[in-house]
Amino acid sequence: MTLRDHATAVVKTLQDAGFQAVFAGGCVRDAILGLEPSDYDVATSAEPADIERLFPKTIPVGKRFGVMVVPAGGHNIEVATFRSDGLYVDGRHPVSVTYSDARADALRRDFTINAMFEDPVSGETLDYVGGREDLAAGVIRAVGDPSRRFAEDHLRLLRAVRFACRFDFALDGPTREALAAKADTIKEVSAERIGDEVVKILTEGRAKQGFELLDEVGLVQWIIPEMVAMKECEQSPDSHPEGDVFVHTMLCLGNLPAGCSEPLALGVLLHDIAKPACAIERDGRHTFYGHTKLGAEMAVEICKRLRRSGAVTDRVEFLVEQHLRHCSASNMKKSTLKRFLRQQGIDELLELTRIDAVSSNGDLTHYEFCKSALDSLEPEQIRPQPLLSGRDLIEMGLSPGPRFKKLLQAVEDAQLEGRVSTSEEALELVRSLQERPQNESK
């Protein structure tokens, strides 16, 4: 059985017991658009007690709001009682709910395209708010009064942009005006919820469109205020003919593919975040010395502020700090180049450098050198088994200490460069290094 089959079975159980039950929200929208829904929500006239009675197992995830989860075939189907919401005082939750009917339930929802119902048994679609027409027209429209909708849940400000971005739709005029008027209220939303929406905007295939819209309606300055300084931060036209740092960053976002990783998306967004702080103009040239190091520090702070995981934050720090290092790759020693190319996250780093290049002067020389080198090397060439260990050095009569690390690194350098390939050759190299004066072998 498919996920839809399991969800339909839940609906049928409720209907057979005499209740109205329908699919609700995003799954209806996606089905009309010809997309495969990733989950199914059910709305019903049955109340939580009825749901608990009808199904052998339920999870009361939001029982006070009429929201239950019914496990079915390894999936969790959310089943919610038709309701009307009371006052919202915290910009997220209603103080109270009143159980109602399908029409009233549709009128409390965020956007018309998310407020339709489908009866999977009869095939009937229930649309009380003009959602079908807005889907056909490619419009994101708030249900009812947009100011009220955004005041009820401030996260809807970001969700409006995300849906416009995901489906390549336009914001309805009054919805857009209300969004811009209430942009500053996004600061009242938890950082984690904001971060999750930002990542979705970045990774669903239209990141450039999404962030340009976030900027136009005044949300960027509240979400990532560091980006505002990118505007009118000029760059030298020979390396960046496209324009200022903000324009460049938007072009980079336009080259992010749908489904890209979260670290890559955030790395692309933030790779030049420190350029305004490091900008120096001299003789008509714009330079940004130190922007990779400072940018990495700023990126870490932004990722922490958006409550991204430690693993994601560490990878973004790596991407931002090293996004120009490939430019010197052709001048690196073989050992240095191999160490560079074997770093965790190198594929994402090279993809960032490619995006950076095609979004500026189009020079892919450094990227192609690194990509060619990486593709030509076998794993054992780039990360060979060590020929010596600290124990081997002790057996040679050497005393453990700081010099161990230097000797072992010298051996690995020689191994990576092809100058030694056996333990015997490595031992001979160590002996020769030991015979040199300390300052000569550093």
CA distances, 428 to each of 329, 392, 407 (Å): 30, 12, 12
The pLDDT of residue 440 is 45
What was the pLDDT predicted at 91?
63
Give me the phi and psi of 379, to 5 degrees please.
Answer: -55, -40
Same domain, 195 and 233: no
Q: Are residues 401 and 368 in the same domain?
A: no
Which of 85, 102, 134 lies at the terminal end of a domain, its last residue?
134
Token duo for residue 117: 């119902």
What is the reported pLDDT for 397? 86
Q: Are 246 and 329 members of one domain? A: yes
210, 188, 270, 264 alpha-carbon torsion, rounded to 10°: -70
Question: Does one domain contain both 181 and 163?
Answer: yes
Instruction: For residue 225, count other CB atoms closer than 10 A to its CB.
Output: 10
In the chain, the amino acid numbered 101 is D
Q: What is the pTM of this model?
A: 0.89
* Torsion region of 343: left, alpha or beta (phi above 0 gives left; psi -120 to 50 gives alpha): beta
Residue 310 lies in a domain: yes
Name 379's Cβ contacts closer than 8 Å, sequence gap at least 6.
none
- Any idea what the CATH number is for the domain that residue 254 is in? 1.10.3210
111 assigned to some structural domain: yes
Q: What is the pLDDT of residue 437?
A: 57
Is residue 442 one of the residues assigned to a domain? no
Regarding whether 111 and 1 lie in a shared domain, the answer is yes
The verdict on 87 and 149 lying in the same domain is no
pLDDT < 70 positions in the chain: 89-91, 436-442
Residue 66 covered by a domain: yes
The answer to whether the CB of 14 falls within 8 A of the CB of 44 is: yes
Of the three residues 198, 223, 248, the one that is the final residue of a domain is 223
Same domain, 282 and 332: yes
In the chain, how many domains are there? 4
The answer as to whether 98 is a domain residue is yes
* Sign of the dihedral through C-alpha 318, 233, 246, 235: negative
Within this chain, do residues 31 and 60 fall inside the same structural domain, yes or no? yes
Question: Which single residue is written with the structure tokens 């027409």?
Answer: 133
Is residue 89 domain-shared with residue 116, that is, in the same domain?
A: yes
Question: What pLDDT was estimated at residue 90?
Answer: 63
Token pair of 189, please? 């939303």
Final residue of a domain: which of 134, 156, 179?
Answer: 134
Residue 101 and residue 120 in one domain:
yes
Identify whether 441 is part of a domain.
no
Beta bridge partners of 118: 23, 125
**Is residue 219 in some structural domain?**
yes
Indicate whether 440 belongs to any domain: no
Report yes or no: 79 and 70 within 8 Å, Cβ to Cβ.
Answer: yes
Claim to verify: residue 156 and residue 96 sit in the same structural domain:
no
Condensed to tens digits (0 to 9), the pLDDT of residues 26-82 reads 999 999 999 999 999 999 999 999 999 999 999 999 898 899 999 998 999 999 999
pLDDT tens-digit profile of 220-243? 999 999 999 999 899 888 888 898
Per-residue three-class SS string for the chain: CCHHHHHHHHHHHHHHCCCCEEEECHHHHHHHCCCCCCCCEEEECCCHHHHHHHCCCCEEEEHHHCEEEEEECCEEEEEEECEEECCECCCCCECCEEECCHHHHHHCCCEHHHCCEECCCCCCEECCCCHHHHHHHCEECECCCHHHHHHHCCCHHHHHHHHHHHHCCEECHHHHHHHHHCHHHHHHCCHHHHHHHHHHHHHCCCHHHHHHHHHHCCCHHHHCHHHHHHCCCCCCCCCCCCCCHHHHHHHHHHCCCCCCCHHHHHHHHHCCCCHHHHCEEECCEEECCCHHHHHHHHHHHHHHHCCCCHHHHHHHHHHHHCCCHHHHHHHCCHHHHHHHHCCCCHHHHHHHHHHHHHCCCCCCHHHHHHHHHHHHCCHHHHCCCCCCCHHHHHHCCCCCCHHHHHHHHHHHHHHHCCCCCCHHHHHHHHHHHHHCCCCCCC
Task: Check whether residue 29 and residue 107 sit in a common domain.
Answer: yes
Q: List the domain range (segments joined by +) for residue 414.
A: 390-435
Q: CATH number of the domain at 58, please.
A: 3.30.460.10
CATH number for 202: 1.10.110.30
Q: Looking at residue 66, what is its pLDDT? A: 92
CA 189, CA 185: separation in Å to the nearest integer? 8
